[in-house]
Copies of this chain bind each other. A is one copy, B any other.
Amino acid sequence: MSPRPLIIQVINPNTSDAMTATIAAAARVVAAPGNEILAVCPQEGAPSIEGHFDEAIATLGVLEQVKLGRDAGVDGHIIACFGDPGLLAARELATAPVIGIAEAAMHLATLVATRFSIVTTLPRTLTIARHLLHQYGFERHCAGLHAIDLPVLALEDGSGTAQQKVREQCIAARDRDGSGAVVLGCGGMADLARSLTDELGIPVIDGVSAAVKMVEALAALGLRTSKQGDLAYPLAKPLSGRFHGLNQ
């Protein structure tokens, strides 16, 4: 018997339609037949996310989308920005699983290699990656952190420059770090993983597609976000002003 088709909400936390499209496409390529990718981005917010401040801005949009998705009965939520902004807050709000793309990619990397490297955009985001490695428990599994030193939106400028630099850093990860796998550190790199995996001969992992499969896995197992303890629904309290829409 075939399982019920799933609706998977993929939330691009920035407001870039082009990046939402890139992310949606990467998600659809791997989704199991019949499953629907519901790609959304906040209407208001930051066009790209490159620091703690941008993440804080983006988190509000993520939460609103999670609430919309929950009310629509989606089967899982994906936060498609490498810093996994708002992950635990979203888990409080959600009934279904919530997966961050950094989290998904890092988890899978440890399943196919003993050590991995991360290739991301601007150097200032490396601190965010370090914090996530630390929070998720993968500090010792990471052999190197690389930044291409270009902003996120350079991935969407059509020149291919950013893509070329990603490729170079992936090679450095393999040859200089001696890493067995590479984690791509930006949702906007989602379309590069397959070809780099083929060319470089090591797993190059995109978090968007990884997260889609994690949501599908959890759904198939009947596992949803625990509502016991600190991930229980937020306590009902009157959220005022522009937060009104987030009231329970």
Contact = CB atoms under 8 A, between A and B. Distances in A.
Interface of A: 1-3, 15, 30, 32-33, 43-48, 50-57, 59-60, 63, 86, 88-89, 91-93, 97, 99, 103, 107-108, 110-115, 123-128, 130-131, 134-141, 151, 174, 178-181, 193-194, 197, 201-203, 205-206, 209-210, 213-214, 216-218, 220-232, 234-235, 237-243, 246
B97 A111 contact: yes
Contacts of A178: 123, 228-229
Contact of A221 (B55, B123, B209): B209
A127 B114 contact: yes
Contact of A56 (B45, B86, B139, B201): B86
Q: Count chain B CB atoms within 10 A of each CB in A55, A108, A113, A246 and give the residue with the most.
A: A113
B180 A205 contact: no
Interface centre among A3, A130, A230 (most CB of B within 10 A): A230
A45 B243 CA distance: 6
Given A123-B178, A135-B131, A241-B45, A52 B89 contact: yes
